[in-house]
């Protein structure tokens, strides 16, 4: 019997088993780390309230339909210290003071106007997700089943057709979601409009109070209705943040 040969075989076998076990342990640890990161982001989003900040929102939009293109620029302000019906203010429309009709429409729509903010991320971070790593080494969480009323387009709930990719970065060692990209599968809106493509990207930055704040949101949409093709592009920017109320 070749004792030396048997010993070498045993050593090689044990080495292979050790490598396999190490690889399995590393995979489990990586998954645990991503699960922990997801829970940290969820807790972070839950710690932010829509009433934490007053801000200015600037909306630049361009719409093309039937060969005609319209461009608009609206500036709005939000102040959570005011009464509910007065929290949103329309400052200007296309560089001029808003008309009476524009103000009336704006006030009518105030009740259904959502307050944007990092807190909204808690809606999907409380649901199942898969995770991957991008080319910059950042963790990206993928959500393929968004809860009802998560995403609205043209006042329609399109959550059932939406997916979201949330990219996590760091600021001073604190992880936070830097970008959320939402895409929609083709669908019909309000029976008349067929949306072929929709994509929205929201970007966030860490605020001086240690809470993430919306920076910018870009949206692109393409579809058709009533025999005409149409496309829309909008860029929404946020500025003049002012901390108000109780900062938790």
211: burial class by Cβ within 10 Å (0-12, 13-18, 19+)? Answer: buried
In a domain, 29, yes or no: no
Q: What is the pLDDT of residue 161?
A: 93
The residue assigned the tokens 């067929």 is 194
Dihedral sign from CA coordinates of 86, 91, 94, 99: positive
pLDDT band at 227 (very low <50, low <70, confident <90, very high): confident
Residue 1 has a CB neighbour count (10 Å cut-off) of 4
More confident residue, 223 or 19: 223
Cβ(215)–Cβ(176) below 8 Å: no
Residues 124, 164: contact at Cβ < 8 Å? yes
- Which pLDDT value is given to residue 17? 47
- 31 within a domain of the structure (yes/no): no
Domain contains 112? yes
Q: State the Cα torsion 148-149-154-160 to the nearest 10°.
A: -20
The domain in which residue 190 lies consists of 38-243
Total domain count, the chain:
1
Residue 2: inside a domain, yes or no?
A: no
DSSP character at residue 161: G
Helix (H, G, I), strand (E, B) or coil at 17: helix
130 CB contacts (<8 Å, ≥6 apart)?
141, 142, 144
Q: What is the mean pLDDT of residues 101-120?
A: 91
Predicted local confidence at residue 13, as pLDDT: 53
The per-residue pLDDT for range 180-224, each reduced to its tens digit, is: 999 999 998 877 789 899 999 999 999 999 999 999 999 999 998
**What local confidence, expressed as pLDDT, does residue 12 receive?**
62
- Give per-residue pLDDT as tens, 78-94: 999 999 889 999 999 99
Q: Is 13 helix (H, G, I), strand (E, B) or coil?
A: helix
Position 151 in a domain: yes
pTM of the complete model beyond 0.75: yes
213 inside domain: yes
Whether 13 maps to a domain, the answer reads no
Is pLDDT of 109 > 90?
no
- pLDDT for res 145: 83
pLDDT in tens, 113-137: 889 999 999 999 999 999 999 999 9
Query: Has residue 108 been placed in a domain?
Result: yes
Tokens of 111: 């009740």
pLDDT at 30 over 60: no
pLDDT of amino acid 11: 56
Give the pLDDT band of residue 65 (cuts 50, 70, 90): confident
Mean pLDDT of 46-58: 96
Please state the φ and ψ torsions of residue 17, each to the nearest 5 degrees.
-60, -40
């Amino acid at each position: 019997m070749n004792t030396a040969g048997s010993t070498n075989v045993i050593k090689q076998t044990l080495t292979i088993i050790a490598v396999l076990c190490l690889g399995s342990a590393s995979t489990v640890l990586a998954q645990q780390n991503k699960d922990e990161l997801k829970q940290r982001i969820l807790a972070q989003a839950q710690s932010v309230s829509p009433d934490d900040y007053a801000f200015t929102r600037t909306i630049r939009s361009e719409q093309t339909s039937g060969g005609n293109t319209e461009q608009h620029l609206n500036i709005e302000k939000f102040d959570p210290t005011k009464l509910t019906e007065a929290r949103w203010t329309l400052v200007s429309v296309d560089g001029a003071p808003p008309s009476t009709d524009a103000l009336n429409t704006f006030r009518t729509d105030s009740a259904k106007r959502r307050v944007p903010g990092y807190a909204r991320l808690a809606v999907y971070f409380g649901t199942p997700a898969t995770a991957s790593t991008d080319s910059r080494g950042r963790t990206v969480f993928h959500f393929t089943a968004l809860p009802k009323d998560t995403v609205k387009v043209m006042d329609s709930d399109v959550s059932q057709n939406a997916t979201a990719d949330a990219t996590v970065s760091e600021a001073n060692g604190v992880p936070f979601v830097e970008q959320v990209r939402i895409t929609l599968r083709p669908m019909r809106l309000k029976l008349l409009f067929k949306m072929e493509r929709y994509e929205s990207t929201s970007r966030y930055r860490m605020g001086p109070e240690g809470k993430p704040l919306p920076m910018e949101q870009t949206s692109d949409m393409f579809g058709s209705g009533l025999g005409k093709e149409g496309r829309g592009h909008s860029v929404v920017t946020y500025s003049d943040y002012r901390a108000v109320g109780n900062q938790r």
